[in-house]
Structure 1
């Protein structure tokens, strides 16, 4: 009963929670990739913080697409890959702007560019962008499959008996066939009052 299981709203929230958990699993590994590449570039190879953050995020975006496509949203529509990839890159780019914007304001605007500070604001930017990406990916990129048979026109009266025109010997008069589909022999005419079984 709906009173015991919480009804459709609870089931919907449970599905959303499972989806977010799988999204978070991929995003968590992507975060490690992002931060790993970021620290490698910025603190071991002396790449400036903002360019290094952009490069690291681009690498993580590539990893995340594979994880979302083949793990989080593997059961969703796969028929429009070019559209899917284009939208994924678009929304990922917007997320990149969010992340880089937070990092730029912190480092260039306030001078918070120590390893601890840059990592903290890199992490903050990722968190804000993740909320945006979760909403945009599930809504626009990895779309649900249409209901089974949605593209087929339903039969208007599936239980109605079929009417088939008679053979040439019956002068083209319609003949209603019963469940066994009985036919009259060619040349045999039905007299008034005859009953076809």
Structure 2
């Protein structure tokens, strides 16, 4: 049991980040997939639909990751983070576009099921890239400890 406790203590920060990243990612996935299918129905173009869906779901993911998943990390400026976040999401979007493009234009499978499977494969590959790149370049490790929470109003009134 001590081995498990030591292992948990060593990787607890990573485990908490992965859990939060996964929850935000799951919500962004639902947004992305729902909008992708809606845009397929409205616009018809699988690649254009993917781009629109990704821009909207990535905006949601940025807010969730900045203010929840990686809130304990140093904030290096909203403009810098936002630019890098969307640059890296653009690279991750290429995974999805390649999967959808291959399915649609190389395999000539343009039915809803095939396009959604391709979307899921692209999102999966992009997610691996995003987690690694966000930790590496966007949401940096804090150089100073960041307080877990602000003091309560009651504590401030007692002083």
- TM-score scaled by length of structure 2: 0.84
Structure 1, unmatched stretches of 5+, are: 149-197
- In structure 2, the residue matched to 1:39 is 37
- In structure 2, the residue matched to 1:154 is none
- In structure 1, the residue matched to 2:157 is none
CA distance in 2, matches of 1:5, 1:80: 39
Deviation digits for residues 10-61 of structure 1 (CA, Å, limit 9, x no counterpart):
4233321221110010010000110111111102x14211111111111111
Pick from 110, 113, 118: which aligns with 1:116? 113
What is the CA distance between 1:8 and its match in structure 2? 5.7
- In structure 2, the residue matched to 1:95 is 92
**Residue 16 (str. 1) matches residue 33 (str. 2):** no
SS of 1:87's equivalent in the other structure is helix
What is the CA distance between 1:9 and its match in structure 2? 5.0
Q: Write 1 or 2 for the structure with the bigger share of helix.
A: 2
CA distance in 1, matches of 2:61, 2:19: 14
Deviation digits for residues 49-90 of structure 1 (CA, Å, limit 9, x no counterpart):
111111111111111101101111112112422221121111
**Residue 75 (str. 1) matches residue 72 (str. 2):** yes
CA distance in 2, matches of 1:48, 1:13: 43
- TM-score scaled by length of structure 1: 0.68
Q: Which has the higher contact order (CA 8 A, sep 6+)?
A: 2
CA distance in 2, matches of 1:110, 1:103: 10
Deviation digits for residues 165-191 of structure 1 (CA, Å, limit 9, x no counterpart):
xxxxxxxxxxxxxxxxxxxxxxxxxxx
CA distance in 2, matches of 1:41, 1:100: 15
SS of 2:126's equivalent in the other structure is helix
Alignment of 1:1-197 (within 5 A): 4-6=2-4, 9-43=7-41, 45-148=42-145
Query: Which is greater in Rg?
Result: 1
Structure 2, unmatched stretches of 5+, are: 146-159
When the two chains are superposed, the root-mean-square deviation of aligned CA atoms in Å is: 1.7
CA distance in 1, matches of 2:82, 2:143: 19
Q: How many residues align?
A: 145
What is the CA distance between 1:113 and its match in structure 2? 1.2
